[in-house]
Structure 1
Amino acid sequence: MHIAIVTPRQFGDDAKGGGERYVTELSAALKKIGISNEVLEIPRLRSWRCDSAEIGFSELWSRIRKADVLHIHQLNSPGFDIGAVIARINRVPIVLTDHGGGFICPGRLLGRARLLCVSAAAYVSAWSSYDIDPHKRIRNHTLIYGGGDHVTAAPEIDSIVDFAVVGRILPHKGAHIAIEALPDSASLRIVGQVRDSEYYKYLARIAEGKRVTFVPDADDAEVAQTYKDARYILCPSVTSYGGHVYSRPELLGLVALESLAVGTPVIGSRVGGLAETLERFSQQTVEAGSVKAWRETLQNSLTNQASSESVNARGEVTWESVAVRCQRVYSSVLQSRRGQIGVVDA
């Protein structure tokens, strides 16, 4: 079995979001369980790479045509537009996984009609299934969730911070809520790439006079150390900011899985797949965007440390388990395809 994985970008350099990380870790996990695969990056309609090396369109066509299954990550993307067409012409079954967000691309004009060419959906959360296919056009679908055990082992704890926010500095991630809700004398560390400089300046302003530190260029080791240092990891994602409404909230919450894999409890907003992930592991959820509710929850967490010592989810949030679920999906669509071919041949 050989899988061609299509994604806008892989994790690394400036591509450090959850979607990029997801594909990179899944590819490695599939190889570990014996599933041959290669990653095809299609960031634009006329830009194609295979395992980070530039390739021409004829090679892209050949690699998809030779695959047993094409696993496309991100519905609203050039990768879906191009990959789905090539796969359909060459009768290669398509598995779809979506991570929220997306790009402005021609395929959007077709709306949900695009789903008719998908053989199976591998959802990172039940919320994602409602978001992508509320009318269940894709009959073969399953939950594959996500992993967190890619976080490298952190060194011994040097210092303790009460709370930490890990993630790109963007308004919808809600770091401003964590700052505004921070109890007096409590400490907060914000770790992540600055993707919105104006928002970052705003965060710095409202953090003045508080015990807030920013680490804008942390590497994997520093992120792992933060998970170990913090008493709680916060995921204060919001559904609106500055008049803009985010119609597709967090579909999974990879930061939460990373934290739980390390053993640090999480407090997160009650939005989308993030809430689903937190509830799955009995973590605290808070009304999104409510500074009052967040302040009360953070204050209570400081006086109730029992929950911060009871997290042991590492064995449940592995990439190997995600890869095994994907393997079942691939086997299912291949079995279905063989059956259809058999009927035609008969």
Structure 2
Amino acid sequence: MIYLKVLSLTNEFEEERFGGAGTAATGIVYMLDRLGMEQTVVVPRSDWNKPGRLARGQHINVLGLPRNIYYFGHLEMVWADALRHKFPELLQKWDVIHLQAINFAPLAYLLSEGRIPILYSVYSFLREELGDPKVPGLQEQFKIQEELLKHCHRIHLISQSEVHYLAEHFPQYLSKAEKLALGISLPTERWNQVNTNNRFLYVGRLLEYKGLEDLIEAVGRVYRTERQICLDIVGKGPAPYEKYLKRMVSSLKLGDCVQFHGWQPSLEVKQRMVHAMALIIPSRREAFGLVALEGMAIGTPLISSSAGGLAELVSPTGALTFEAGNINQLSEALMTAIDNPSLLKLFSERARERVLSYAWEQLAPLYLNLLENLTQ
């Protein structure tokens, strides 16, 4: 039985995933597919030279667009008129337009015409996440997102910290906001404490607000206590910042114990989580913390800051937590993990228990209710 027809507009999906937003978008689409939704997903594809279509799941049609000037313009905003003429099937009567990336806002407005409800999933408030730098391109993106808050019909927020941000900065839109956590597909992999070898793991984008400088400094402090410690960093970021981090590692003489691995496929990341002593989330700001949730699902012990949505997701009774930006507390947490392996085993068990409530199957009725209410 087909309940609803949903058009999903996202900057990341499946093979095009680059981080938490891509994982979230993919998870939501497949969850809705299992509920019987008929969905068309429009997504850029970095590895395609021309548009293409793919079938996925039971009722998922994917329209992939090359990331080029024919489809995307300034700030990678989609050319809505070009898509309307090139793909007239997008003009059909949708029950809901699910917007998951601001660069598709022009297309959502064009197709909605004020009649089809737009659900906007906010995976982060850009002005909060990026620190509000006075950079013209970023300021334009901030304004695009804030216009979306005004024009969409329902705002999907992913944590209580994001609800607080909306209430403080845009209270006029709070009445159309709903908080729904992101979910996880429970993996078969399980954490293996036997061969951790004091190897800690960071997974995520290499950006300043992710707290990597704090983490490297903390590893240096632990290293100087003559404890054995290694850190694997998986992820990519702007080239100048990556070079800065590598220079920092070199200046602290940590080249033998801190390794950068770049971006890696999800299967390899899961294997690193299986064999890590702990997964470290040192973020200074975080809307939710999907990497933490993925680690918890495998049972990898967490060392996490309490920034933003992490405070809601990560329990202090099931992880080593520290105040965001507090390098002393982070280095102490690393030493506690090294010195107390039995504590990590306890955290692993508690993490696996806690994550069950975040399984997509548990969250599915809430998402279904959100969509159905939009169409009434």
Give TM class, smaller chain. Answer: 0.7 to 0.9
Secondary structure at the counterpart of residue 12 of structure 1 = helix
Shift of 1:112: 4.4
Q: 2:124 is matched by which residue type in structure 1?
A: G
Structure 1 partner of 2:206: 169
Q: 2:99 is matched by which residue type in structure 1?
A: I
Written as runs of structure 1 = structure 2, the 5 A alignment for 1:2-13 is 2-13=5-16
Q: 5+ unaligned residues in a row in structure 1: which ranges? A: 239-248, 336-346
Whether the aligned pair in 2 keeps the contact of 1:48 and 1:57 (CA below 8 Å) is no
Q: 5+ unaligned residues in a row in structure 2: which ranges? A: 54-61, 66-81, 127-136
Whether the aligned pair in 1 keeps the contact of 2:205 and 2:236 (CA below 8 Å) is yes
2:297 is the alignment partner of 1:261: yes
Q: Deviations over 1:242-294 (max 9, x none)?
A: xxxxxxx3111110000001111212222111222214984333122222121
- Aligned mates of 1:156, 1:300 — CA distance in 2: 19
Higher relative contact order, chain-length normalized (CA < 8 Å, sep 6+)? 1
Secondary structure at the counterpart of residue 309 of structure 2 = helix
Whether the aligned pair in 2 keeps the contact of 1:67 and 1:92 (CA below 8 Å) is yes
- Aligned mates of 2:90, 2:316 — CA distance in 1: 38
Q: CA RMSD in A?
A: 3.2
- Aligned mates of 1:110, 1:202 — CA distance in 2: 31
Secondary structure at the counterpart of residue 300 of structure 1 = helix
Written as runs of structure 1 = structure 2, the 5 A alignment for 1:274-313 is 274-279=310-315, 282-309=318-345, 310=349, 311-312=351-352, 313=354
2:111 is the alignment partner of 1:86: yes
Whether the aligned pair in 2 keeps the contact of 1:149 and 1:319 (CA below 8 Å) is yes
Structure 2 partner of 1:71: 98
Whether the aligned pair in 2 keeps the contact of 1:189 and 1:215 (CA below 8 Å) is no
Secondary structure at the counterpart of residue 332 of structure 1 = helix
Q: Which of the residues 152, 156, 165 maps onto 1:118?
A: 152
CA 1:170/1:107 → structure 2, altered by over 3 Å: closer, same or farther?
Answer: closer
Whether the aligned pair in 2 keeps the contact of 1:160 and 1:229 (CA below 8 Å) is yes
Structure 2 partner of 1:330: 371
CA 1:152/1:58 → structure 2, altered by over 3 Å: closer, same or farther?
Answer: farther
Q: 1:78 is matched by which residue type in structure 2?
A: N
- Aligned mates of 1:191, 1:69 — CA distance in 2: 39
Structure 2 partner of 1:344: none
Whether the aligned pair in 1 keeps the contact of 2:190 and 2:299 (CA below 8 Å) is no
Q: Which of the residues 162, 172, 188 maps onto 2:230?
A: 188
Percent identity over paired residues: 22
CA 1:178/1:155 → structure 2, altered by over 3 Å: closer, same or farther?
Answer: closer
Q: Which of the residues 202, 224, 229 maps onto 2:275?
A: 229
- Aligned mates of 1:111, 1:194 — CA distance in 2: 24
Whether the aligned pair in 2 keeps the contact of 1:265 and 1:307 (CA below 8 Å) is no
- Aligned mates of 2:279, 2:5 — CA distance in 1: 38
- Aligned mates of 1:131, 1:302 — CA distance in 2: 36
